[in-house]
Structure formats: structure tokens, C-alpha cells
A = this chain, B = another copy of it.
Amino acid sequence: RSKKLKASMALSRFEYVKQFETDDRCLPNCWIVVRIDGKGFHRFSDQHNFLKPNDDRSLHLMNCAAKQVMTEFKDIVLAYGQSDEYSFVFKINTSTYNRRSSKLMTNICSLFASTFVFNWQKYFHDVKLKYPPAFDGRVVLYPSNQNLLDYLSWRQADCHINNMYNTVFWALVQQGKLTPQAAQERLKGTLAADKNEILFQDYAINYNDLPEFYRKGTTLIREKKEEQITHKIPQQDGTFKEKAELKIKSELVELHTDIIGSSFWNNHPEILTPKLKR
């Protein structure tokens, strides 16, 4: 008996350790971005024989995981992904998890990772997942719309530059039969224009004709769609009368388009506007 009493007393005796936890709420009225990155995905892609320079299966699986995150977190207004990274943008005045930074990043990271494994087979079919991957994450705050747009532009410019490099690099290796070291050496100091030239002259590849899926990455947004639903209303005479109703539903939409220029934002003003009134 006394043993149990002691346990409960113990609980209260030890509870002081809760005071060592810190308050990590994000500054109000800032855009909250959670960016996640695959940990050690160079090795991971080697181990699972990812196609180079882009592996559709992997990119679609990343998008699938990102959609799951957006389905769970309704306050994410946009997500942008490329390669093994994804950025999730919460609406500026979200109160999800009381804006607590740790809660936001760990929930998103772990849900992304578990969804990635959960849906692996759906995309990789008979390629077996050899080990469970990790993703690291961080929270970054952006006070103004312009800062947020510049953040997203930064990621998309990064996608562009990496994809162009990888496209040439793997052309040199796969078609040009160069060793990776030789390919790397060949590309040292080249500008985008030079890479374009190599692709076009040596491999007859027009970079701009490559799929936007690779060149622009993936942007996920929500779109309101009207949907006509037809109800059958029973009538007094035993027959049914059809009654149409318009319902507005929010749907995830996957885009592969430029988000650096203004036209994307002009076409989707609702992404930035549900700002704090003040």
C-alpha cells in the first residue's frame, strides 16, 4: 500500500522537471515555413537505384507524402517540393498547435516520413525498401509576403540550378561515358549557358523541352471547386424530385509551374490574402 502512495507522491516530487521545458511559440503575424530534407538521400538513392537525373517514382512518393501532410494540417496554404526536400507554408495567422515551433516541425517531419514508408510500394513496386529513411526539419518565419515569395523563389531557383547541373552531369556519364570525376571536372566553372550548350550540341537535348515536373518542382495548393450534388426529394405522390445543390469543396492541386514570376500569384490571390485583419 505505502508503495503505491509513494509512487503518486513520487510523481509530484519529480514534476518540477516540467519547468525546464521552454515556450517556443512563433512570433504572431509571420508566415511559418516548415522545410524538411531527406537525411543522407545521396546514399539512400544509390541503395535503391534511383534513376538519374530524376526518378519519377521518388518524386511522386514525395508528393504523396506532402499531400498527406496537407490533408492533416488544414492551415497549410501551399507546399513546394523538389528533389528530397519539401517546404510547407502555414497561413500567416495560424494557431495550429498554438504556433509552437517544435510541435509543428516534429509532427510534419514524422508524418511525412511515415507516409513515405507507408506508400513506398505503391510507387516503387517490387523494389524493396531497404531501410527506413529520416527527414530533418526546421521552422523559419517570414514577416512579409515579399519575404515569403522570395523564400519560395529561392527554393525554385535552387531546383532549376541543381536540375540543370544534374541533367548535364548524367548526360556526360550515361551517354558520354565519362566517369563521375571526369564529368565533374568537365563542368567545373561552367555557366548555365555553357551547360545548355553541352546538352544541345553533344546530346541534342533542349533543356527547356524537358518536363516542367523536373525543371520547376511541385507546388501543392488548395483549390475551391464547386460541385453539383443532386438530392432526390421524396414527393407526396410517392415519386422523387431531383434537387441540385452547389457545394464548395477544397481540393489539393498539384502544379509544376513557375512561382518566381508574379503571374502564379496573380492567379491565386487567395493564398496570401487570408491575412490577419490587422
Contact = CB atoms under 8 A, between A and B. Distances in A.
A193 interface: yes
A192 B3 CA distance: 9
Contacts of A11: 154, 157-158, 161
Nearest to A129: B118
Q: How many copies does the complex hold?
A: 4
Contact of A20 (B28, B118, B260): B28
A41 interface: no
Interface in A36-93: 36, 39, 68, 72
A101 B15 CA distance: 23
A143 B106 CA distance: 24
Given A102-B105, A110-B109, A114-B117, A5 B192 contact: yes
Interface in A7-48: 7-8, 10-11, 13-23, 25, 27-30, 36, 39
A141 interface: yes
Contact of A132 (B20, B118, B142, B164): B118
Interface residues of A, number: 79
B109 A143 contact: no
Interface stretch (A145-153, A170-178, A263-271): A145-153
A256 interface: no
Most chain B CB within 10 A, of A11, A146, A276, is at: A11
A113 interface: yes
B278 A102 contact: no
A117 B109 CA distance: 14
Interface of A: 1, 3-5, 7-8, 10-11, 13-23, 25, 27-30, 36, 39, 68, 72, 101-103, 105-107, 109-119, 129, 131-144, 146-147, 150-151, 153-154, 157-158, 160-161, 164, 191-193, 195-196, 260, 276, 278
